[in-house]
Chains A and B, each alone.
Chain A
């Protein structure tokens, strides 16, 4: 069992959380002039880093989406950050 930290609720069991996406994977715009390759890259291809990573997770119990920095090898969690402007 591992603890993750929700920016609002604090440390909770990992089972209360769900992986959302890799951080920084921005949807290509405008859609009309986005190539099929760029769209497929956005949808299907992950960077899948070995080591330090930045990911979007959701705390399913309260519904908060946030940025989590963790290490995919050691599973060490470096920190969590709210995605809201002006929130710690």
Chain B
């Protein structure tokens, strides 16, 4: 029986991993709160995070709690620290699934950010999109910004090592 573990490259040590180049940098963002919200978006925002801003594709979001829109009836509530939100159905018309560790989050930055992103994404970033979900290097990701030249990428944990390796091999 082959040692299947060896088929894949080892994931990096997320606590210390970083990519630093002249025009591009990346680092994992650890310890965020992430809750998947499914159902009526407005009711969920009103109940869980009144007034919290909503991030779409490539939009610039500010603050330490916001909703990253995935679909018409789905969003990821992101907070600076994990929240004690109960899992399950809420009578207001939505369900919550705590997923603090379900997505890995990378922060990308630098003058060459746009070039690196352009290699990964075919969607028109300047046009934007209500949904932050997009195909990134062949896998589904959530992509938005926290400043003009600083982006955040949420990836399902299982593909984080692959995308990190992909980012490491960019010229940018």
A63 within 8 A of B: yes
* Chain A 76-87: CB-based contact to B (< 8 A → 1; otherwise 0): 000000001000
**Do A64 and B135 touch across chains, with their CB atoms under 8 A apart?**
no
Closest to B135 in A: A16
A12 within 8 A of B: yes
A32 within 8 A of B: no
For chain A residues 45-80, which have a beta carbon within 8 Å of chain B? 60-64
A residues near B123, Cβ cutoff 8 Å: 11-13
Shortest Cβ distance from A44 into chain B, in angstroms?
31
A26 within 8 A of B: no
**Do B140 and A61 touch across chains, with their CB atoms under 8 A apart?**
yes
B residues near A10, Cβ cutoff 8 Å: 127-130
For chain B residues 116-145, which have a beta carbon within 8 Å of chain A? 122-124, 127-131, 133-135, 140
Could you pull out 28 A-B pairs where Cβ atoms are within 8 angstroms? A1-B122, A9-B57, A9-B129, A9-B130, A10-B127, A10-B128, A10-B129, A10-B130, A11-B123, A11-B124, A11-B127, A12-B123, A12-B129, A13-B122, A13-B123, A13-B135, A15-B122, A15-B135, A16-B135, A60-B140, A61-B134, A61-B135, A61-B140, A62-B71, A62-B72, A62-B74, A62-B131, A64-B72
| Cα(A22)–Cα(B27), bound, Å | 45
Shortest Cβ distance from B170 into chain A, in angstroms?
20
Shortest Cβ distance from B40 into chain A, in angstroms?
13
B26 within 8 A of A: no
B residues near A39, Cβ cutoff 8 Å: none
**Do B72 and A8 touch across chains, with their CB atoms under 8 A apart?**
yes
With most chain B CB atoms within 10 A of its CB, the pick from A6, A9, A10, A60 is A9
**Do B71 and A63 touch across chains, with their CB atoms under 8 A apart?**
yes
| Cα(A69)–Cα(B50), bound, Å | 39
A residues near B70, Cβ cutoff 8 Å: 62
Shortest Cβ distance from A6 into chain B, in angstroms?
8
**Do B131 and A9 touch across chains, with their CB atoms under 8 A apart?**
yes
